[in-house]
Chains A and B, each alone.
Chain A
Amino acid sequence: MSDAGENGRGGVMHWFRFRGLALCILALAGLFCLGPVLWQGVTSIKPDEDLVRLPPIVPERMTAAHYERVLFHSSLVRSLVNSAVVAASATAVAIVVGGLCAFTLARLPIAGKPVILGLVLATSMFPPIAVISPLYLLMRGLGLRDTLIAVGLTHAVYALPLAIWILTSFFRQLPGELYYAARVDGCTPLRALLSVFLPLARPGLAVAALLVFIFSWNEFMFALTLTASDATRTAPVAVALFPGLYEIPWGDIAAASLVVTLPVAGLAVMFQRHIVAGLTAGSVKG
């Protein structure tokens, strides 16, 4: 580790020679990645009159009017609550149902596991548009159209493949001896899962829950189709359909965008390492 500079992988450093140049390129990439978000932040605190002129890039005057408007005089807060309810229940359902299925795939001798895992993967590749019209008719038939239940249930099912995939790989990492020991001690498979595996797989469960939550919070097409009123709209739908009477209220949209993004971006930054671990589970070893 001491002569790390000489051991640079693939010798990329030999191409750049200077660490400084690499850092410069990286900084440019960083500007490209974060610039648009920062600009949205700048937009959200500029008064309306200043939004229709450039320069200045750095705001000369600041205002909280946009935030005040979207938080107190629009249905955005309602949408945020809806999104939280939908995402939390979708996460709960996907983790419970997916966890049971993943445990089976990891530990129990059922037939055709590769086929099932393949199908799980295939389901995650479904184009949502292919099911949207029958799903809409089904929810309407069940009297669930324009309810949060319809959106939450749909999100749970479409997040299932992800949950199953991640949890299966986490359960597989736990030693099989634990399972046999629990069985010999007279546990049923379900009891073995609940009292032996679940506590040990807690990190895996957290990662899966995080990813399902982010997926559901951000999902747009199902939420747009299955809801029809302010009372049930989720946050992304609210941001997409932001009302403009005469012209587009860019400042309000910017403020609403940041408010909607904050929870998921915060989670993602805090748990970045775990998210990568989860998404690469079973695909990248190590």
Chain B
Amino acid sequence: MTEQPSTGTRQATRAVRLSERAWGYLLASPAFLLVGLVAVAPIAAALWLSLHRRLPVFGVEEFVGAWNYLQLWSDDRFWAACRTTLYFTVLSVATELLLGFGLALLLDGLTNGAGKSPRWAQVMIVVPWAIPTVVSAQIWAWLYQPDYGLLNYLLHRVNLITAPIDWLADPDWAIHAAVVMDVWKTAPFAALLLLAGLKTIPRDLYAAARVDGAGAWQQFRHITLPLLMPVVVIVLVFRTMDAVRVFDAVYVLTGGGPGNSTETLSIYAYKTLFQTLQFGYGSALATAMFLIVAALSSLYLLLLRRHLQEAT
């Protein structure tokens, strides 16, 4: 506890306060400067670029106003990319959350909510998370390989399929193949965060509930779920943001193909920028995506606001 300054020293304290504040701005300024230079200024520049038609190959550079955005509105490929991104996000985040929750409950139950999880369980959870996304894409590309990939072999062995499936060449399968890879990489980690949350729930609550005659389901429904909600929201927020922005996993696994069936917004924007070198239109795509993510994240920040205030 800090003591309130006495009347005699108030004047001096105010002087210290002021310089403390100045110190604060001074110490925080490198962070603001770097973020401004490498994150905020480029956003503004992208907005500016998106108002131009810019094709470096042909030496074209002209101001076209909102033309790129009008183009975007009638671009089927853009809407298809939106749908693909939405489908990928909803399916993978929902699956990750469910599987992660199940795994967390299982581990928590096995350790009776207190002890350490077994070492191998920790390893199995943390390894997929730590693996570079690019590597996980290569691992799964090999598993999905139609002729001598492990997946087709195993499915064939248990008689689930008769002919090999070319997972990544079939538009209907490819997006789901990408979802499975994403779930593999992130569900264990969702479990890890949820498990950390489970461990903060006081065990007395369960004992008290049992005394009152509550069954397992009632304990879960009225104690576990409500008390874990903040963590669930956090996992949901961060996983959604990652899934909406997904690039490297899908880009390396399928390159957006076959056709454009796995082309997410990030991949479409990236290809427009760096493969066809349309910097203006690509920037419009990127800006549109920024706006979508900004809208989503402000929604989420509202959800998280209570948390944020507690942390401050």
- What separation, in Å, do the CA atoms of A135 and B49 have in the docked complex? 12
CA distance A19 to B112 in the complex (A): 11
Establish whether residues B106 and A283, one from each chain, have CB atoms under 8 Å apart when the complex forms. no
B132: nearest chain-A partner, CB-CB: A218
Q: What 1/0 flags go to B185-198 for Cβ under 8 Å of A?
A: 00010001100111
Q: Is the CB of A276 within 8 A of B193?
A: yes
B83 is an interface residue with CB less than 8 A from chain A: no
Most B CB contacts (10 A, CB to CB) among A134, A269, A286 go to A134
A272 within 8 A of B: yes
For A100, give its contact among B31, B125, B200 (CB under 8 Å): B31
Quick check: is B43 within 8 A (CB to CB) of the other chain? yes
Residues of chain B within 8 A of A74, CB atoms compared:
none
Evaluate contact between B248 and A221: CB separation under 8 angstroms: yes
Pair A110/B126 contact, Cβ less than 8 Å: no
Cβ A253 vs Cβ B286 within 8 A: no
Question: What chain A residues lie within 8 Å of B270 (beta carbons)?
Answer: 129, 132, 221
* B97 interfacial by beta-carbon distance below 8 Å: no
Q: Which residues of A contact B171 (CB under 8 A)?
A: none
Contacts of B219 in A (CB 8 A): 10-11
User: Within the assembled complex, what's the spacing in Å between the Cα atoms of A16 and B115?
Assistant: 19
A254-280 Cβ-contact flags toward B at 8 Å (1 or 0): 100100110011011100100110011
Interface locus among A32-40, A63-71, A200-208:
A32-40
Chain B residues numbered 220-237 whose CB sits less than 8 Å from any CB in chain A: 220, 223-224, 230-231, 234
Number of A-B contacts (CB under 8 A): 342
- Chain A's closest residue to B277 (CB) is A133
Asked whether, in the complex, the Cβ of B196 is within 8 Å of the Cβ of A110, the reply is: no
The digit string for A182-196, where 1 denotes a CB below 8 A from any CB of B, is 010000111001000
CB distance from B101 to the nearest CB of A (A): 11
Task: Judge whether A1 is part of the interface by a CB distance below 8 angstroms.
Answer: yes
Interchain CB contact under 8 A, B207 and A126: no
Among the listed stretches B59-67, B69-77, B143-151, which one makes contact with chain A, having 4 or more residues with CB under 8 Å of it?
Answer: B143-151
CB distance from A215 to the nearest CB of B (A): 10
Whether the Cβ atoms of B132 and A239 lie closer than 8 Å is yes
Q: CB-CB < 8 A to B161: which residues of A?
A: none
A43 touches B142 (CB 8 A): yes
Q: A11-B215, A154-B38, A284-B231 are in contact. Are A121 and B308 (CB under 8 A)?
A: yes
B260-290 interface code vs A (CB 8 A; 1 in, 0 out): 0000011001100110000100110011011
Within the complex, what minimum Cβ distance (angstroms) separates A96 from chain B? Answer: 8
Distance of B143 from chain A, by nearest CB (Å): 6
Q: Does any Cβ of A come within 8 Å of B158's Cβ?
A: no
Q: Judge whether B109 and A133 touch: CB under 8 Å.
A: no
Could you tell me if B39 and A158 are in contact, using CB atoms closer than 8 angstroms? yes
Q: How large is the interface on B (under 10, 10 to 19, 20 to 34, 35 or more residues)?
A: 35 or more
Q: At the interface, yes or no: A58 with Cβ under 8 Å from chain B? A: no
Contact of A34 among B124, B143, B234, B283 (CB under 8 A): B124
Q: Is the interface of B mostly helix, strand, loop or mixed?
A: helix
Query: Which residues of chain B are near A75, meaning CB under 8 Å?
Result: none
Chain A 215-248 per-residue mask, 1 if CB under 8 angstroms from chain B, else 0: 0011011000100000000011101101000000
A189 close to B23 (CB less than 8 A): yes
Q: Check if A10 sits within 8 Å of B216, measured CB to CB.
A: yes
Interface residues of A in 9-27 (CB under 8 A from B): 9-16, 19, 22-23, 25-26
* B58 in contact (CB, < 8 A): no
How distant is the Cα of A267 from the Cα of B131 in the complex, in angstroms?
A: 11
Whether A54 contacts B125 in the complex (CB less than 8 A), given A9-B198, A10-B206, A264-B131, comes out as: no
B185 to nearest A CB, angstroms?
10
A264 to B106 alpha-carbon distance, docked (Å): 27
Q: How far is the CA of A51 from the CA of B207 in the complex (A)?
A: 56
- Given the contacts A7-B113, A100-B28, A114-B309, A130 and B135 also touching, CB distance less than 8 Å: no
A-B pairs with beta carbons under 8 Å apart, 14 shown: A4-B114, A7-B203, A8-B109, A13-B109, A26-B103, A40-B142, A129-B265, A133-B46, A133-B283, A220-B247, A240-B252, A257-B138, A272-B126, A280-B231
Interface residues of B (CB under 8 A from A): 2, 16-17, 20-21, 23-25, 27-28, 30-32, 34-35, 37-39, 41-43, 45-46, 49, 103, 105-110, 112-115, 120-140, 142-143, 145, 147-148, 150, 153, 184, 188, 192-193, 196-201, 203, 206-207, 210, 215-216, 219-220, 223-224, 230-231, 234, 241, 244-245, 247-248, 252, 265-266, 269-270, 273-274, 279, 282-283, 286-287, 289-290, 293-294, 297-298, 300-301, 304, 307-309, 311-312
